[in-house]
Homo-oligomer: A and B are copies of this chain.
Amino acid sequence: MAIVTLTTDFGDGSSYVAAMKGALLAVDGHANIIDLSHRLPPQDLLAAAYFLSDTLYCFPAGTIHVVVVDPGVGTERAILCVQWNDQIVLVPDNGCWTPIVRQNDAPPVVFRVEDQRYRRANVSATFHGRDIIAPAAGHLAIGVRPDQLGPRVSGWVRMMLPEASVTNWGAAGQVVIADPFGNLITNIPAELVSAGAAVTVGGQRVSRVVRTYGDAEPETIVALIGSSGRLEIAVVNGSAAVRLGLGVGTPVAVRRNG
């Protein structure tokens, strides 16, 4: 029973997600379908990249990930089948998967999905998730090999995530995710943050770095290394996004001797 995850920007409860599930189960009625998210911001490849970075590493070898954030649907962009870290990602060729590959990973092996035997009989111009990607996932789930879906390719669209930089006083980065609790998650990795450093968000000094939420009273603004291994700004039992009125893109500075 293959695990097939679904990540889209189609919206919770959208008929598009339901149709994709049907198209997948029509090929493999035993697939263990796991919804990851259907509320990525529409056509936001950067948000998709962060979402994949924060989740795919948790899944076991053999998992098949279907990722449909596809601003280019209806253009000639390819659909890729990516073998990475013993998992498979099916995704339009838009680069959002490329940041999940880490420096120590074996290089991904990538195929272009194009064999007509592994898609629905009539392919629409606007819904390749249902007509090409979901059936391809079903076929992989029943044992079709990636190299049967189409030719191996050596080039694809690459995406770079905005990176934090080291400065002579500490590190500079930005808020890259506001999570549903209102935590502001940055792109500054733990190794650039010393305990007790001072954190400034949007020019406003907010906090010293603590180890965990429990180190401060409710309603305190804190900065800590979150579960993604990156700096985040939080309000204990509250919402930093609401309290500070800040969101994605806000500059963040970490000063060693604040």
- Copies of this chain, whole number: 3
State which of A31-39, A105-113, A194-202 sits at the interface with chain B.
A31-39
Main secondary structure on A side of the interface with B: loop
Contact A71 B18, beta carbon cutoff 8 Å: no
Q: Could you tell me which residues of chain A, from 158 to 204, have a CB within 8 Å of some CB in chain B?
A: 177, 179-181
Contact A34 B33, beta carbon cutoff 8 Å: yes
Residues of chain B within 8 A (CB-CB) of A23 are 58
**Which of B12, B32, B54, B225 is A30 in contact with, Cβ under 8 Å?**
B32
CB distance from A161 to the nearest CB of B (A): 15
Q: Could you tell me which residues of chain A, from 133 to 180, have a CB within 8 Å of some CB in chain B?
A: 177, 179-180
- Alpha-carbon distance between A211 and B7 when the two chains are bound, in angstroms: 26
A1 interfacial by beta-carbon distance below 8 Å: yes
A245 interfacial by beta-carbon distance below 8 Å: no
Interface centre among A33, A59, A71, A72 (most CB of B within 10 A): A59
Residues of chain B within 8 A (CB-CB) of A57 are 22
- Alpha-carbon distance between A186 and B165 when the two chains are bound, in angstroms: 50
State which of A93-101, A122-130, A248-256 sits at the interface with chain B.
A122-130
- Alpha-carbon distance between A36 and B6 when the two chains are bound, in angstroms: 13
Residues of chain B within 8 A (CB-CB) of A32 are 29-30, 32
- Alpha-carbon distance between A137 and B37 when the two chains are bound, in angstroms: 21
Q: A56-B22, A59-B25, A224-B125 known; A179 and B13 CB under 8 Å?
A: no
Residues of chain B within 8 A (CB-CB) of A40 are 13
Q: A10-B180, A42-B181, A43-B237 known; A213 and B126 CB under 8 Å?
A: yes
CB distance from A174 to the nearest CB of B (A): 18
Contact B29 A3, beta carbon cutoff 8 Å: yes
- Alpha-carbon distance between A57 and B23 when the two chains are bound, in angstroms: 9
Contact A25 B63, beta carbon cutoff 8 Å: yes
Contact A72 B214, beta carbon cutoff 8 Å: yes
Chain A window 42-73, contacts with chain B (Cβ cutoff 8 Å), 1 for yes, 0 for no? 11000000110011111110110000000111
Which residue of chain B has the shortest Cβ distance to A43 in the bound complex?
B237
Query: Sorted from nearest, which 3 A-B pairs have the closest CB atoms?
Result: A11-B180, A22-B58, A74-B212
Seed contacts A5-B18, A33-B34; 8 additional CB < 8 Å A-B pairs: A13-B40, A20-B58, A25-B34, A25-B63, A42-B181, A73-B213, A125-B212, A125-B225
